[in-house]
Amino acid sequence: MSSFFGLAKTRTFKPRKDVPEGTKQYQLRKYAEATLGSGNLRLAVVLPEGEDLNEWLAVHAVDFFNHLNMLYGTVTEFCTPQECPVMSAGPRYEYLWEDGVTYKRPTKLSAPDYVDALMNWVQGLLDDETVFPHKIGVPFPKNFRETIKTIFRRLFRVYGHLYSSHFEQICALGIEAHLNTSYRHFFLFINEFDLVEQRELVPLDELNDAILAEDAKGTR
């Protein structure tokens, strides 16, 4: 695993800091790490009994952001404006960027510019205590679920781009198992909590079907 993390390039965004020890999110992260360690990804995504759903969603948003940040960092030398002039997940799925601030209308960006904008946007939300509160007793905002859905929908696009445009390079680097495990965990999580609409997931339909089929076998 160390060789994989050693390949990650430094991006303009940084991994989200760990939540403070003693908080509910810290405890949930430790629980999630323990269930992940069991090798059962299906079990790892299920909300622990008696726990708050928003806390569980928040912990996983941070973890998927950090992991995807590192995965994408391994291909930055290949994902350039020249090689990837549009952000896409295959020839039929192109994405435009809009954040309501710098880009007030859907805007065509190269894949690296799109991913940079996306990751900086997510990081800004994760760092905002009014959106992702860490202090005990501070409630999540009423629109938190919608914010989470938008984050996961956009993170999916980075997975889509990695698979459609950079899978050969990822295989050459010997880290396809890391990508596959990360995406399987991500997909089972969004499927468990209905976070991304089916039409958004179409670019990776075949892979998604294979994951669900394998999951169904494992739960018999």
State pTM to two decimals: 0.84
Out of 1.20.140.30, 1.10.10.10, 3.50.50.60, 3.20.20.70, the CATH code matching 2-218 is 1.20.140.30
Fill in the DSSP letter of residue 105: S
What are the pLDDT digits (tens) for 79-98?
999 999 999 999 999 999 99
Residue-range domain boundaries for the chain: 2-218
| pLDDT above 60 for 19 | no
What is the share, in percent, of the chain residues with pLDDT greater than 70?
A: 80
Query: First and final CA of the chain: distance in angstroms?
Result: 31
Instruction: Give how far the C-alpha of residue 186 lies from the chain's centroid of Cα atoms, to the nearest Å.
Output: 7
Closest Cα partner for 54 from 141, 183, 152, 153?
141
Residue 60 assigned ligand-binding role:
no
Q: Is 166 one of the annotated binding-site residues?
A: yes
The verdict on whether residue 79 carries a ligand-binding annotation is yes
List the one residue out of 195, 115, 122 whose CA is nearest residue 132: 122
Between 67 and 203, residue with greater pLDDT: 203
* pLDDT per position as a tens digit, 43-76: 889 998 888 999 999 999 999 999 899 999 999 9
User: Which positions ≥6 away from 133 have C-beta within 8 Å?
Assistant: 139, 140
Residue 73 in contact with residue 9, Cβ under 8 Å?
yes
pLDDT band at 32 (very low <50, low <70, confident <90, very high): low
pLDDT of residue 4: 39
pLDDT above 50 for 8: no
67 is in an annotated binding site: no
Q: What is the rounded distance in angstroms from the CA atom of residue 51 to the CA atom of residue 144?
A: 16
Q: What value does the mean pLDDT take over residues 113-131? A: 95
Q: Which two tokens stand for residue 49?
A: 């009994």
